[in-house]
Amino acid sequence: MSSQLPLVFSVTSGKGGVGKTNLSANLSMALAETGKRVVLLDADLGLANVDVILGLAPERNLFHLFREGESLESILLDTGYGFDILPASSGVSEMLSLSTGQKLELLEAMDYLEDKVDYLVVDTGAGINDNVVYFNLAAQERIVVLTPEPTSLTDAYALIKVLKLEHGMEHFKILVNMARTPDAAKEVFTRLYRACDHFLDGVSLDLLGSIPHDSAVRKAVIKQVPFLKHAPDSPASKAVREAAKRIQTWDVATNLDGNIKFFWKKLLFQQA
């Protein structure tokens, strides 16, 4: 992979409680284990919690970049697990009201990452609010996380519907979390696939994988460490590494779409 063409992908969900942020962190670690340079952006601007999952206490976050003139380099935080994070805070909810001048300053700040990262992983908020939609539109690929629970399936469909009907997004990767059995994961994917096929013409869903229900995951959350670190040989850890392998087979754009600055430009200027 060319260092000049990073891949930007979002990890998103239609509802909270599906393990999205935990999967974002562990996918980032799994990619980093293969020697890739990974940055995880906490894009849940109202309820930032990547740092909590990892047991970290950042002194600076994106608010300091937007409002206090800090450099991106000073905000990037080494997690100790092979990847860095860009932590957020509730104050960053003001991002979409930045002036044009401030937006340009942010684009210039992103130059720091341009040749320093292979993957920018964007952990969005849950639901279909404006921030979630914005970050999904800006990403090159979208991973929708859901569980076998009926409400999770319904809300995942709602998110895909909004992105398709209102914004023309048609391609989604699906990651089923907390599946009791492989058959249960396939069943929930099939139900989502059939609903999209019937009601949303043109939508393409690909099953990225399934993460089994695993007691090691909850123990790792309590300890505030990635479950890949806490239980590297657990079923969930093995499944995440398999998903990471598939991510590395994704095509990286050879044009501006694969450029990190373009990610931010799409995000910040789509209403201009």
Distance CA 124, CA 8 (A): 12
129 in a structural domain: yes
Give me the CATH number covering residue 81: 3.40.50.300
Q: Number of folded domains in the chain?
A: 1
* Residue written as token pair 């007691």: 215
Cα dihedral 29→31→33→36 (10° resolution): -120
Question: Can you list the pairs that 14-17 forms with residues at least 24 positions away whose Cβ atoms lie under 8 Å?
Answer: 14/126, 14/127, 14/128, 14/144, 14/146, 14/152, 14/154, 14/155, 14/156, 14/157, 14/158, 14/159, 14/160, 15/126, 15/127, 15/151, 15/152, 15/155, 15/156, 16/126, 16/127, 17/126
2 in a structural domain: no
Tokens found for residue 32: 């980093």
Cβ contact 182:51 at 8 Å:
no
Which position has the higher pLDDT, 230 or 266?
Answer: 230
Quote the pLDDT of residue 189. 98
Give the bridge partners for 105, in sequence order.
none
Range of the domain at 224: 7-269
Q: Check pLDDT > 70 for residue 254.
A: no
Sheet of 141-146, strands arranged across? 77-78, 84-86, 38-43, 119-126, 7-13, 141-146, 171-179, 204-212
61 in a structural domain: yes
219 in a structural domain: yes
**Burial class (CB within 10 angstroms; exposed 0-12, middle 13-18, buried 19+) of 208:** buried
Q: Check pLDDT > 90 for residue 131.
A: no
Looking at every residue in the chain, the average pLDDT score rounds to: 87
Residue type, 168: G
52 in a structural domain: yes
Distance CA 58, CA 94 (A): 20
Round to the nearest angstrom and report the end-to-end CA distance of the chain: 33
1 in a structural domain: no
What is the share, in percent, of the chain residues with pLDDT greater than 70? 83
In this prediction, residues 193-198 reach a mean pLDDT of 97
248 in a structural domain: yes
Residue type, 78: D
Stretch (H or E) spanning 250? none
pLDDT in tens, 140-177: 899 999 999 999 999 999 999 999 999 999 999 999 99
Residue type, 119: Y
Give the bridge partners for 171, in sequence order.
204
Distance CA 38, CA 27 (A): 10
